[in-house]
Amino acid sequence: EASRLAVEAVETGLNPEETSRDVIAAMGDEILARKMADVIRSGNRNIVHRAANNPELRGMGTTVTLAFVRGTQATIAHVGDSRAYLVDSRNRRIMQVTDDHSFVEALVAAGHLTQEQAEEHPMRNVLYRALGQAEELDVDVYEVHLQSDDRLILCSDGLTRHVKAHEISEIVLSNRDPETAAQLLIDLANKRGGEDNVSVIIVLVESDLPADSDHNVDSTIELTPIAPEPEETVILAERHFVDSASDTEDTLRATDLLTDPKPGQPEHTYESGGEGRDPRAPFQ
């Protein structure tokens, strides 16, 4: 129910009939970022109010990772422990764009736990931020610069509990077709005992730009605001779900939405060669 309410809020707030491609293309970065955050907050309020009026629904919640792709730029709005990854095909590098809003990841960020310890921690699935927890909600919004052959991946924790980031990168880079790669990732998670919903979206960026084009990309690990001109197109893969009839599949033109209806359950850069780049910038 929480996942459905979140999807409905996005569909209403980013209705293609009311918000045309031209209107969205003309939006400034800050306006689009605020709009995406607002639709997630709207979904959160709907969940909180529904739970308050229905005792049997109290405690329900969901996570959400929403991506809107415009040319060479993706704007990502995020709450919870679903994740967005960027796979840089030139440098064979995968970067976790989003931060997990879990207590254990907060301990990792503070230096109190290693990533290996976090993976075995008994509270690794407990979130401190998710839709449905409180009426007020902070939404993280990131801008990501895209280059030709990059892959943008949205996935639930049903995948990341069982498949490592470097394995995600290897499978995606070995299979150009987004739907094939997504299904292989889902199959691997299930083979390793996946008990949760496994949701995967893969966006493949295609462009006629030369490989050595300069996109003002910062090659360091610092987070640098990036606002390139939209010149590329993207191929959107369908979302794939496993073991869940209640999740809703949703593709909104150039928008991908991923929700995970288990907020109480619940490394950012991995390399397989090359120095890569960090195209991420948290929206201010």
Alpha-carbon span 205 to 203, nearest angstrom: 6
For 82, residues 6+ apart whose C-beta sits below 8 A from its C-beta are 63, 64, 65, 98, 154, 155, 156, 157, 199, 258, 259, 260
Q: Check if the beta carbon of residue 29 is closer than 8 Å to that of residue 227.
A: yes
**pLDDT tier for residue 261 given thresholds of 50, 70 and 90:** low
Does residue 19 have a pLDDT over 50? yes
* Per-residue pLDDT, 80: 94
For the structural domain made of 2-264, what CATH number should be given? 3.60.40.10
Q: What is the 3-state secondary structure (H, E, C) of the chain?
A: CHHHHHHHHHHHHCCCCCCCHHHHHHCCHHHHHHHHHHHHHHHHHHHHHHHHHCHHHCCCCEEEEEEEEECCEEEEEEECCCEEEEEECCCCEEEECCCCCEHHHHHHHCCCCCHHHHHHCCCCCCECCCECCCCCCCCEEEEEECCCCCEEEEECHHHHCCCCHHHHHHHHHHCCCHHHHHHHHHHHHHHCCCCCCCCEEEEEEECCCCCCCCCCCCCCCCCCCCCCCCCCEEEECCCECCCCCCCCCCEECCEEEEEECCCCCCCCEEECCCCCCCCEEECC
* pTM, rounded to two decimals: 0.75
Mean pLDDT over 217-242 rounds to 31
The closest alpha carbon to 103, from 82, 80, 132, belongs to 80
**pLDDT tier for residue 18 given thresholds of 50, 70 and 90:** low
- Tens of pLDDT along 157-201? 999 999 999 999 999 999 999 999 999 999 999 999 877 689 999
The closest alpha carbon to 87, from 161, 160, 153, 133, belongs to 153
Q: Check if the beta carbon of residue 200 is closer than 8 Å to that of residue 84.
A: no
* Per-residue pLDDT, 24: 73
Lowest mean pLDDT among 56-65, 68-77, 225-234, 263-272: 225-234
Q: What angle do CA 244, 258, 284 make, to 5 degrees?
A: 160
The closest alpha carbon to 280, from 139, 36, 76, 70, belongs to 76
Maximum Cα–Cα distance across the chain:
58
Lowest mean pLDDT among 8-12, 46-50, 96-100: 8-12
**How would you list the strands of the sheet with 200-206, edge to edge?**
233-236, 200-206, 151-155, 83-88, 93-96, 269-271
